[in-house]
Every structure is written in structure tokens, then in C-alpha cells.
Amino acid sequence: GQNIDQPTEMTATEGAIVQINCTYQTSGFNGLFWYQQHAGEAPTFLSYNVLDGLEEKGRFSSFLSRSKGYSYLLLKELQMKDSASYLCAVSDSNYQLIWGAGTKLIIKP
């Protein structure tokens, strides 16, 4: 079957660094996406990884290891506005996105 696992909830402090992990088992792999979703709003695209390694984009970085079925999203210099859910999604053999349940990130001052 297809499965994507993320922690349900994480808490971090403003100004700190947090790493949100995602593990996956899917039928085929055509890349992994991270989305951000603020409460009551639509998901918005953050990053896409298809090759192993780290992709850096400002305060956010995303890492992929295809052999381990593992990715993480790294958020640096946390700000209160980063309080949101972070969704991991894998593009499968049919280019459909398979979604994790999301990780709710709570930022404390």
C-alpha cells in the first residue's frame, strides 16, 4: 500500500530551528513536495525534491533520501507567522500526489 508518515504536531520557539520529518512508501516515485497550510486556508507550495540532497530556499530547506524513503523540511530563524501545518506529498507512478496527514507546527515566543 501507499503510506506517508509525518509527526502530528511539533512545538518550537521563535528564532530557533525545527526539522519536520516525512517517511514514505509509495508505488513509484516522481518527486516529493512540501506545502504550507495556515489554519482555514489553502495549501501553498514550498519545495520540490526529486534528487537526493538538500534544496535551500531562504529560511526553508528540504532534504531527500530516495534510498531511505525519507525527507525533511528545515525551518530556520522561526517566526510566529511560520505557525501552520506542513504537508508532505509524493508524486507517484501516475504523477498523482499522495498526501501525508500534515504536521501542525506551533511557534512559541
Partner 1 sequence: IAGITQAPTSQILAAGRRMTLRCTQDMRHNAMYWYRQDLGLGLRLIHYSNTAGTTGKGEVPDGYSVSRANTDDFPLTLASAVPSQTSVYFCASSDGTSRPSEQFFGPGTRLTVL
Q: Which is nearer to partner 1, 48 or 60 (CB)?
A: 48
* List 3, 27, 44, 65, residue binding partner 1 (CB under 8 A): 44
Q: Is 36 in the site for partner 1 (CB under 8 A)?
A: no
In the list 50, 54, 65, 77, the residue contacting partner 1 (rule: CB under 8 A) is 50
Q: What share of the chain is helix, strand, coil (3-state, %, to 5)?
A: 5, 55, 40
> Strand, coil or helix: what is 107?
strand
Whole-number Å distance between alpha carbons of 46 and 90: 14
Between residue 6 and residue 35, which ones bind partner 1 under the rule CB under 8 A? 8, 30-31, 33
Number of CB atoms found within 10 A of residue 74's CB: 15
Which residues are near partner 1 by CB under 8 A?
A: 4, 8, 30-31, 33, 41-45, 48, 50, 87, 89, 91, 95-97, 99-102
